[in-house]
Amino acid sequence: MIRVAMLSRWHVHADDYAKQIMKNDEAEIVAVWDEDSKRGKRWADEIGVDFEPDLEKLLSRTDIDAVVVNTPTSMHREVIVSAANKGKHIFTEKVMAPTVKECIEIKDAVENGKVKFCISFPQRTFPANLFAKRVVSEKLIGDITLLRIRNAHNGAIANWLPDYFYNAALCGGGAMMDLGAHPMYLSRWLLGEPVSISSVFNSFTEKPVEDNAVSVIEFKNKAIGIVETGFVSTNSMPWLEIYGTQGVLIIGGPEDRVYISSTREDVGTRWVDKDELPKALPMPIEQWIAAITKGEHIEFGLNEGMELTQLMEGAYASFNEGRKISFSTLLR
């Protein structure tokens, strides 16, 4: 049985992770820490576990094997490095850290501590996206020329996001840093090494961070990726389009269906039945627990976390500097 401490309820997904752990027979929550003591104490009482206000004291406890990090992104390096130095296995909400430099510090600490590390990339477990990976890898629509992924909601205009999600110092950014992480890591997974990135961000609601954002990424294979996100789109549907030299793949729409059209005779043109899609992978928390208890593989770890931060750091540098950013100086 893996004994887990929840580190902060700051992120909106913290409750989801706690529920996933409590449903897993191989893990249990034994303690909570939070940078906001009042919030942490309330959460610990709800779960029925100890609240520990001192992070170093909590990380020194011998009855804790692993931690789930849901702190502000700006605290990730400090918290994760401390946990790794104490020999605790680590699961973290994305983004791994705001800068590649901080990610390298995290990577060194995790490797030196010989602990299991997983970052939350849930959309890489979805059957339709696994099918997209197969389409790209097997060139079912030829060489890829363009990818477009949209992931947006109405959190800013419907006022259901917490106010601190608009604090750049805590979050490292706005909509792109949070919701945009999903199309960012999917684009990197599907298209490979990026060469450059250009961003257009604005604040439709005039909040302190961007709530409407697009980044355009050029990849080494000459494909172009368009990443769209925002907190100001009501009823926006997840959408993935991949265009190649021999066809197209479309995923999404009101029924979240998969459509492929290829000049290859063995592929053809059709709506893809659900039973043709790959089986969903275990969710990130489940992969992490299985890696600790059974030595199983984690699909998204340190390197994938660093790759996402590379894209994010480049995206924000492009917006702030008003120019295209080359990745030749990042993640080297």
Q: Average pLDDT in the 178-185 region?
A: 98
Domains in the chain and their CATH numbers? 2-115 (3.40.50.720), 123-276+309-329 (3.30.360.10)
pLDDT, one tens digit per residue, over 91-150 is 999 999 999 999 999 999 999 999 999 999 999 999 999 999 999 999 999 999 999 999
Alpha helical stretches, state H, the chain: 14-22, 37-47, 55-59, 76-85, 100-113, 127-137, 168-171, 181-191, 284-294, 302-321
pLDDT digits (tens, 9 = 90+) for 1-47: 999 999 999 999 999 999 999 999 999 999 999 999 999 999 999 99
Residues 225-251 have pLDDT tens digits of: 999 999 999 999 999 999 999 999 999
Is residue 160 within 8 Å of residue 203, measured between CB atoms?
Answer: no
Within 8 A by CB and 6+ apart from 149, the residues are 182, 183, 186, 187, 225, 226, 227, 228, 239, 240, 241
The model's pLDDT over 66-77, given as tens digits with 9 standing for 90+, comes to 999 999 999 999
Say what percent of the chain tops pLDDT 90: 97
Q: Residue 332 pLDDT more than 50? A: no
**pTM of this prediction?**
0.96
Q: pLDDT at position 253, please?
A: 87
- Mean confidence (pLDDT) of the chain: 97
Residues belonging to the chain: 332
